[in-house]
Amino acid sequence: MLKHQPHELRHLEHLCPAAVPYAMVEAHEGQAKANHDQTVARLAERGGLSVAEMLAVLEDRPWSSREHPKRTDVACLPELLRLVAAHLEAE
């Protein structure tokens, strides 16, 4: 459910997950709706979220690229990978 931004992630593409566990994102449905005015299912149908958008949803915080210009996909990738790994270990 991640959409890639090739210009920013090209050199890290091999590290970036193509998807995160659906249940992990579904647990934050309210934040997804608040941030994007769409359900998690609809976001997935439309191609998913960028790394930075996904991290904001998983951290239950608002997202606006204008308000968070330093929270780029590259900057957010390590934390997203950490959260996904922790989720998978807990399963």
* Residues 22-64: tens digit of each pLDDT: 999 999 999 999 999 999 999 999 989 989 999 999 999 998 8
Instruction: Evaluate whether residue 53 is within a structural domain.
Output: yes
pLDDT over 60 at 20, yes or no: yes
Instruction: Evaluate whether residue 4 is within a structural domain.
Output: no
Instruction: Evaluate whether residue 84 is within a structural domain.
Output: yes
32 secondary structure, DSSP code: H
Instruction: Evaluate whether residue 80 is within a structural domain.
Output: yes
Q: How many domains does the chain have?
A: 1
18 — pLDDT class (breaks 50, 70, 90): confident
Instruction: Evaluate whether residue 78 is within a structural domain.
Output: yes
Instruction: Evaluate whether residue 38 is within a structural domain.
Output: yes
**Which structural domain, as residue segments, surrounds residue 47?**
19-90
pLDDT over 80 at 83, yes or no: yes
Instruction: Evaluate whether residue 9 is within a structural domain.
Output: no
pTM of the model: 0.82
Instruction: Evaluate whether residue 49 is within a structural domain.
Output: yes
